[in-house]
């Protein structure tokens, strides 16, 4: 009989920069919705992923706390969801090593994120960690036997790899130990694009701060970035289909829809024929109305970093209690002797 796994959600965000509107709409906002649906939810600041590219230690610490503050300010309740930073729970690194030995070099070298992050650069100089990143991500998920992972569109391929690693592990060892995970890629903003280039993903690490809205931006900064966002000269069309070849316009309309909780069709019905001169201020007002309360709460939480560390530590204890026995069993399955435990 096939093993059944209880529904459990795991997801994370890298503290490799400030949290962007893309991270918020593609991930964080949906993390809150999943928590509020009553499913068991485990959320993580994945600091070990962040150091696959260089991070200044003090900045990393600050961004990890700031990311945690963003989770809480956006509605994650640390009493209901488990909220912690990855490096505090050893199971992630331990299982990642096992998965490094299950995953194949060919699988990893086909990952588009690896190719994108090394494109035009000397791949030989990239860290081994950046190459192995998806195996650590698989370990993050499987250390909890998580069955569902809410992510943005850009993480779809890594989720498929997680499935491949889990299936290969199960086949190699003749067990039904790891679940086959489902990516949850839902909503109208699964891929928020750069404000400067509608063909590029909005990203924390984009060299241009004008390309993104950060959750730490104040109202004037948000309005300024939206005012200067790249667009074309035509007014908004009267059908969503007509946005297909207008990436910048489509991006702004999708952001509006996601923030308002509307469909793209509803936004088009409201703004058909409008020039960007009137649509952009409406979008800026909406973005400020939705994001300012989060920014204000983040700023308040960041005044007490010790309290954030306490919350992360408590979350790590709860995460450890779930992942420890799961990874211990992996050691048994793979033939590692653990005689110290009695």
Q: What is the closest distance, in whole angstroms, from the C-beta atom of residue 91 to ligand AQP in the complex?
A: 19
**Which of 9, 10, 13, 188 is in the footprint of ligand AQP by CB under 6 A?**
13
Is 149 within 8 Å of 159 (Cβ atoms)? Answer: yes
Q: List the one residue out of 331, 26, 3 whose CA is nearest residue 204.
A: 26
Neighbours of 287 (CB within 10 A): 21
Is 158 within 8 Å of 137 (Cβ atoms)? Answer: yes
Contact call for residue 61 and ligand AQP (CB under 6 A): no
Comparing CB distances to ligand AQP, the nearer of 205 and 275 is 205
117 is catalytic: yes
- Tell me how far apart the alpha carbons of residues 206 and 170 are, in angstroms, rounded to a whole number: 38
Coil, helix or strand for 14?
Answer: coil
Which is the catalytic residue, given 34, 204, 225, 290?
A: 204
Q: Largest Cα–Cα distance in the chain?
A: 73
Comparing CB distances to ligand AQP, the nearer of 26 and 134 is 26
Neighbours of 216 (CB within 10 A): 17
**Which of 64, 203, 251, 254 is in the footprint of ligand AQP by CB under 6 A?**
203
Separation of CA 51 from chain center: 16
**Which of 8, 10, 23, 74 is in the footprint of ligand AQP by CB under 6 A?**
23
Site size toward ligand AQP (CB under 6 A) is 21
Residue 83 forms beta bridges with which residues? Answer: 43
Which is the catalytic residue, given 201, 225, 280, 290?
A: 201
One character per residue 160-199, x = contact with ligand AQP (rule: CB under 6 A) = ------------------------------xxx-------
Comparing CB distances to ligand AQP, the nearer of 9 and 13 is 13
**Which of 51, 60, 76, 151 is in the footprint of ligand AQP by CB under 6 A?**
151
Comparing CB distances to ligand AQP, the nearer of 154 and 164 is 154
- Tell me how far apart the alpha carbons of residues 277 and 314 are, in angstroms, rounded to a whole number: 48
**Which of 26, 179, 183, 198 is in the footprint of ligand AQP by CB under 6 A?**
26
Neighbours of 288 (CB within 10 A): 19
Contact call for residue 87 and ligand AQP (CB under 6 A): no
Is 286 within 8 Å of 256 (Cβ atoms)? Answer: yes
Which two three-digit tokens encode residue 314? 């408590």
201 is catalytic: yes
Footprint on this chain of ligand AQP (rule: CB under 6 A): 13-14, 16-17, 20, 22-23, 26-27, 151-152, 154-155, 190-192, 201-205
């Amino acid at each position: 009989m096939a093993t059944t796994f209880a529904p459990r959600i795991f997801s994370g965000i890298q503290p490799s920069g400030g949290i962007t509107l893309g991270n918020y709409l593609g991930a964080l906002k949906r993390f809150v919705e999943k928590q509020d649906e009553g499913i068991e939810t485990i959320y993580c600041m994945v600091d070990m992923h962040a150091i696959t590219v260089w991070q200044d230690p003090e900045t990393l610490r600050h961004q990890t706390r700031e990311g945690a503050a963003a989770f809480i300010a956006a509605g994650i309740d640390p009493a209901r969801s488990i909220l912690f930073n990855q490096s505090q729970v050893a199971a992630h690194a331990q299982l990642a090593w096992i998965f490094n030995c299950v995953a194949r070099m060919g699988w990893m070298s086909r990952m588009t994120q690896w190719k994108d992050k090394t494109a035009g650069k000397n791949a030989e100089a990239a860290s081994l960690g950046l190459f192995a990143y998806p195996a650590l991500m698989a370990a993050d998920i499987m250390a909890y036997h998580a069955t569902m992972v809410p992510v943005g569109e850009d993480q779809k391929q890594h989720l498929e790899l997680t499935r491949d690693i889990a299936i290969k592990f199960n086949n190699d060892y003749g067990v039904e130990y790891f679940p086959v995970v489902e990516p949850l890629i839902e909503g109208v903003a699964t891929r928020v694009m750069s404000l400067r280039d509608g063909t590029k993903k909005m990203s924390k690490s984009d060299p241009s701060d004008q390309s993104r809205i950060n959750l730490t931006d104040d109202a004037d900064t948000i309005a300024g970035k939206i005012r200067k966002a790249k667009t074309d000269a035509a007014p908004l069309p009267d059908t969503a289909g007509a946005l297909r070849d207008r990436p910048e316009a489509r991006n702004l309309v999708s952001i509006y829809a996601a923030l308002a909780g509307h469909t793209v069709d509803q936004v088009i019905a409201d703004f058909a024929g409008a020039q960007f001169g009137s649509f952009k201020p409406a979008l800026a007002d909406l973005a400020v109305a939705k994001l300012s309360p989060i920014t204000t709460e983040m700023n308040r939480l960041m005044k007490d970093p010790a309290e954030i560390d306490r919350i992360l530590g408590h979350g790590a204890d709860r995460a450890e209690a779930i992942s420890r026995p799961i990874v211990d069993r992996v050691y048994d399955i793979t033939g590692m002797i653990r005689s110290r435990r009695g």
